Structures are given as structure tokens and as C-alpha cells.
Structure 1
């Protein structure tokens, strides 16, 4: 049944960024949450940094878990639900891996039995600590952890797609053990959809977990090629939502736009509000959208060193809590859509995607910026079409097409 779309923010503390866990200040957190709630948002995504919470494989710090619960309770007092990312191996260009997985203790994040036991214990513990909180949405396994499994990461733990699927299954089961019945999910960056040799695949993203998550960043070649206000740029998030539906076994599987932001200088500060509005409005034209969670709540304070330049300006709020133009846009859209049933018209024309084997997707780069599927989708949108995407293996499945409202299919070569 159609429901209202959720609006939220990825919570980046105004003081100390994610290092705030080292000097946890509940009053500062409350001030941040007040500013987020004042935007009219209904949820946040929270990032307990893995080595701060589990510095030793058999030590999960009780005080850190208690502070996470305090944060969740403070959010609940302000009407904010909470999703928790469990394994923060990577955030804003920095890797955060515990010492017991590195250098002298180097072992695979995805296949070593002892590492798996440690990861599962942390996820189970965090989920269990919040299971009885009414504002706890559920767990995300970690932030874009697929980057550790292939290049361009400088030191990846290479695995096969089968091993990636086994890891996802084990970790999702640990979340379920800790908090039964909650909608636990996993999250990859867009290499899962675009990179031929990435072992985390579109099938994993669209078929494992309670819903599909997509992370939309136009610095991946989209804005460079199409410009700050190009059709492909302003519809990139919507494209990922629709692309994900091609692999979903459930024609109405929920899709969560879990990360999306306006990265400078490709999206200049003066254009951030227009980009934000276009991106969110276009995503809202996709059926089965669970929610939009902007990256991020607060800017990174410039007293902190060595971040890529774009990371300092992605917030809806400044580090001191002042609302920025993009924040005003998100706040207005959240107000306009509060309680409103989300039921876009069906997308009756579907673009066919052929990536070879649909499970392994060895030719998924056709979906990436510059690829035939990506560019055909943008051309169709530019012509006024609202395209869906369908796997080549499903074009003759009349039941599947009917359930999605698809009346005709086109291949990329027929477009433009």
C-alpha cells in the first residue's frame, strides 16, 4: 500500500564530526537534533565508528553502546526515528578499521571466521541495545563497505560475488538476532551498479535486506559530463531508484534514497538549492520510494583537517546550526509531503538493460555514466518520457511488466 515518504538526514555532529564519540557530549547532540527536527525531518541515520565501539575483537565498549542509546532516546524525544549503521569502515574519504583487522593482524573483512564473528557480535549488540526503542528503524550493515572489496580502494580484500552474498547474509542475520522484525538493510556505493568487477552486485542490493538502498553522488562523472543542471545530473538519484527496480524480485520492493548530496564545486554553492529541489522532486516521481535521507545534517567544521574540499559544505546546516539554502528546500519539501500518500503514476515505458548474467552483472558498466543505458535513460527523460528500467531476461514476462505498469519496452540503441 502506498504510504507517505520519509524525509531525513545523515547525522554528522556539528562539533567534532564523527570523532564526537571520543568526547561524547549529550547536550551538544541535543542541540544538533533540535536543529534537525526544526527542519521538519522525521529520521536520522547514525554512524557509530567501528574502532571506537569495538577496539578489540572481543571488547564492545559498554559505555559507547550506552551513548548510542542516549543519542537514540534524545532523537525520539524530538520526534526523530533512528537508523544505525553498524560497521563504519569508511566515512567521507577516511577508512575506520579496527587494529585487529590491519597490518600485523591483517585478515579479510569478508571471509576470515574470527573477523566475521566479531562483526556479527557488534551488529547483534547494537541492534539488541535499541530493539525496544519505538523510534528505532533498524540497522544498516555499514557505510559503503563494498569499497573494501575491489579497486579503486588502494588495499582491498578481494572476494567473489558468492562470498559477498554470504557475508551479507551472515551480517543481516546478526541484525535480525539482535532486533527481530526490524527492516535491516545494507548499503553500497554506486560501484555495485556501475563497476563490472565489483563483487557486491545489483542482485545483492535489490534482493537482500528489507529494502534496497541507493547512494547518489553526481561527482561520479555525471556532473562532469552533463553539467550542474543537466538532465542526467538532476535525475541521477531517480535513475538509481529506477535502475534498482530492474533487479528486484518484488515489483514493489521499497527503495530508500539513503544518501544524496550537492557536492561542490560541481554543484556550486549558489546552485545547491536548485539542485537539491530538482533531485528530490525527481526522486519523488519514482514509485515505492521509502524515503530521502540527505547527506548530511551539518557541515564539517573547517577546524578539522585533510577532508576533501567538498566534504566541508554538504550539510543542510552549518556546523553551528544555521539553516543553509539547501536546508530550506528540504524543510519545505518535507512540510509539503508530510502525511501525503506517495503514489506516482506508473512508468509505462521501460528501458531494457542487458548486463550479461543478471546475477553477476559482468557488463554492468553499460549502466554507468557514459554507458548506453545511462545515456539512453537521460535522453528519454529529456524527451519528456518517464522511463522505468527492466532486465533483458524479463521483457517477455507479461506478469512482471503488468505488475509494474509497463506497456512498452525499448532498447538503448533505439533511443536518440
Structure 2
């Protein structure tokens, strides 16, 4: 018999991008500016922010974690609490909006593999533990995310990757998560990968790791990955890409009701033109909210990047729910409207009883996971079913004939890719 799990109130938030100085604001931290930014986020009716310390600024030397920087992070969390906002903190930044932020003690003359060098790993553990411990007594602290898409440092297309094996990636994640738990026991600690974990053959960070390690599965949905190029701004695959990643992740989860956090999603121009951003936002949210076991949605990002800052990819400047002057944009109004509609309501969408089986050559290594990428046979079959009005779940091919697994997830019908295309 299907256990539907405990219904959860949906969470709606934003990835906090400071209006003054972007993430470089840590260099000239101004709590009044932060408060004004958070006021504008709270005014949208959101309930949390995800924040990003810059690793080189917080830990400029392997044995120096700057107390003043940690105090500023706590001050930001307290300011958020005053406005009714919970705070999730990413630790190892890592990578943000096309820029890499690695401390000098891991690069050039001190180049060491950030996933494999024992001294680097010990330094990372202490850093994550310190941040978590500093916030452990704050009621509005949700938990740590190990870092923002740090998997991109491990493989192509990064220009200078720190190569590791799948086993090394798994051990590294386990140690980082354990450090977060040591600092703040019992909080919502997890890790986050960009979509190479789901789509790129041979990538050392895997779907199995994403869906089995940590308190929840994080997915980052960006349609500039070939989806919008192939299907257009209003194509089914584009508007349902977030829902697709949520459902794809569940195929690997051992817990049939493991929470999935749509931790990043945005409307990137010009693939999603500014005049259509609100429409894309509404459609994306509708698709995601039709997925059982969704923990919440955290939009990328809170505020536009200032045009005074140079060298960002063009799309990065306009992704905010609010302008750089804190005015609400149409996408921000759309998110606020949906958040208001769901406030106080239980989230219990209908079970997705029809599943599409995905064969990636084995769950753990997934050597053929590119079938799940835009243009791949599985991706296109799932999109075709969705366009027909079905609500397909995803099941691993090796579990498609397992009655206990299917029953636990409420799946009564399994289709195969050749049945669809």
C-alpha cells in the first residue's frame, strides 16, 4: 500500500543576490543595505533566502577562517529572521554566475585537487563545520548546502578540472556533509550539483549521489542547457524542465518520499525574452508544484546584477525577481502570487501513477545518462508524454519490474521509451 508520507507546507524563497556589489559585498559589508534587500524579498511573501559566503574571503588561508566574516554571516541571518525569513547557507563558493572563487591555497603555486588532497579536505571540513556551528543556535537557520555546483570543478567543460573518480566524489561528499552535521546537528544539510550529474556520461558526481546523500535532493533547472534552444521558449520540455528534473531525481532515491528542493530555477534571456519571463515563471511553477514530495522552490535570483559590474554573461544581469533598485519585476509578481496562493496549504498533488523507465546502464555509475539530456531519447520521450497530457514519473529500468518499489511509489503502469517514440 502506498504510504503518501507527511504533507509538508511548500517553501518559496530566493537565492539572495545583494544589490550593492553582488557577492563582493562581503568585502564592504553594509548591514543596512542587506536589511533593505531583505525587506524587498520579504515583501514578495517569500519565506527563505539562500545565501553565499565567498570561500576565499571567509577562509583566505587554510588555517584562517576569518571571525569577522563569520560574524557578518550571522548578522545577515539575524536580519533575515527579523523579517520572517529562514536562511540556507552554501559553503564552498566555489562557482557563481560564471566566476570561480577558489582560495589561493588551492591554486597556481599551491595547486591541489580540492576533492582529493587530504590537507585541502581537512580545511574544507573545518570551514563548513565552523559556519554551521556559528548558526546552529539560530531558529531560522535551515542548514548548509556543501557548495554551489562544485561538481563543475571536477570535469569538462571546466578549463582546468580537478579530476577524480566517482568513488572519490562520493567519499568527499560524505565527509563534507558530516562536517556540516557536526557543526549543526539535525539541520537540513545537503549538496547541490549542476545538471552534469544527471546528463553527462562519465561525470564523477552522479545522480545516485545527488538522490541518496544529504537530507534532500537539490535540482538546478536551467533551460539554456539545450532545452530552450531545441524546444523554444514555450515548448513543453522548456516549461516542464524543472518538473522533469524533480521526477528524474526520484528514480534514484531510496526513500519514495525523499524531499526534492528546486534550489535554482530562472528565466534566462534571450532564450526566455523579458516580456515572456512571467509566463515562463508561471508555467514552470505550475509544473513543479504538480510533483509530489517537492520541498520548495528557490528562484534565481532575488535582485538583478548591477550594470556597473563588468564581464558577466549577458543573461546574468536580468535574472532577478526584483530590479537592482528593488522594484518588483513581472516574474517577481508571478512568484509572489503563487507563494501567496500556497501559504498555509498542504502540498499533496496526485500520485504520478504512470512511469517511464530510464535505462542508463546501471544506477550507480549511470554510464549512459546522456539519454536523459536534452535531445536524448529518454528526455524527448518524457517530454512527448507530458505534451500528451500525461504526468509521467520516472523509474530506473532495473526497478521497472519490482512490485514493491512500484507499489511504494504508487506506480501502476510502466512505459518504455520505444513505446513513446
TM-score by length of 2: 0.98
Specify the SS of the correspondent of 2:142: strand
Deviations 1:114-169 (A, max 9, x none): 00011001000000000000000000000000000000000000100000000000
User: Which residue of 73, 77, 94 maps to 1:72?
Assistant: 77
Task: Quote the offset at 1:393 in angstroms.
Answer: 1.0
- The aligned residue for residue 8 of structure 1 is 13
- Residue 34 of structure 1 corresponds to 39
Distance in 1 between residues matched to 2:363 and 2:279, nearest whole Å: 36
Indicate conservation of the 8 Å contact 1:11/1:46, yes or no. yes
Task: Tell me which of 22, 27, 30 is aligned to 1:22.
Answer: 27
Give 1:196 shift: 0.4
Match of residue 323, structure 2, among 289, 294, 318: 318
Choose the corresponding residue for 1:397, options 379, 398, 402: 402
2:146 pairs with 1:134: no
Q: For this pair of structures, how many residues does the alignment match?
A: 416
Alignment-derived partner of residue 201 in structure 1: 206
Give the Å deviation of 1:3: 1.2
Deviation, 1:399, is 1.3
The match for 2:183 is 178
How far apart in 1 are the matches of 2:417 and 2:309? Answer: 46
- Alignment partner, residue 383 of structure 1: 388
**What is the distance in 1 between the residues matched to 2:380 and 2:258?**
25
Q: Structure 2 matches for 1:236-251, cutoff 5 A?
A: 236-251=241-256
CA contact (8 A) 1:150 1:197 kept: no
Q: What is the aligned partner in structure 1 of residue 217 from structure 2? A: 212
Match of 1:163 in 2: 168
Structure 1 stretches of 4+ moved >4 Å: none
What does residue 369 of structure 1 align with? 374
> Would the aligned equivalents of 1:376 and 1:412 in 2 still touch at CA under 8 Å?
yes
- State yes or no: 1:289 paired with 2:289: no
Q: Provide the residue aligned with 1:111 in structure 2.
A: 116
Aligned residue among 276, 294, 297 for 2:281: 276
The correspondence for 1:147, drawn from 142, 145, 152, is: 152
For residues 169 and 45 of structure 1, the distance between their equivalents in structure 2, rounded to whole angstroms, comes to 22
Counterpart secondary structure, 1:344:
coil
Aligned to 2:97: 92
Distance 1:346 1:63 in 2: 48
| 166, 189, 192: which one aligns with 1:187 | 192
Distance 1:136 1:287 in 2: 25
Distance in 1 of aligned mates of 2:195 and 2:112: 25
Q: Does 1:82 align with 2:90?
A: no
**Matches of 1:179 and 1:281, distance apart in 2:** 34
Give the aligned partner of residue 3 of structure 2: none
* Root-mean-square deviation (Å): 0.5
For 2:362 and 2:415, locate their aligned partners in 1 and report how far apart those are by CA, in whole Å: 20
SS of the residue 1:186 aligns to: strand
Deviation at 1:183, TM superposition (A): 1.4
Q: SS of the counterpart of 1:58?
A: coil
CA deviation after TM superposition for structure 1 residue 403, in Å: 1.4
CA contact (8 A) 1:87 1:143 kept: yes
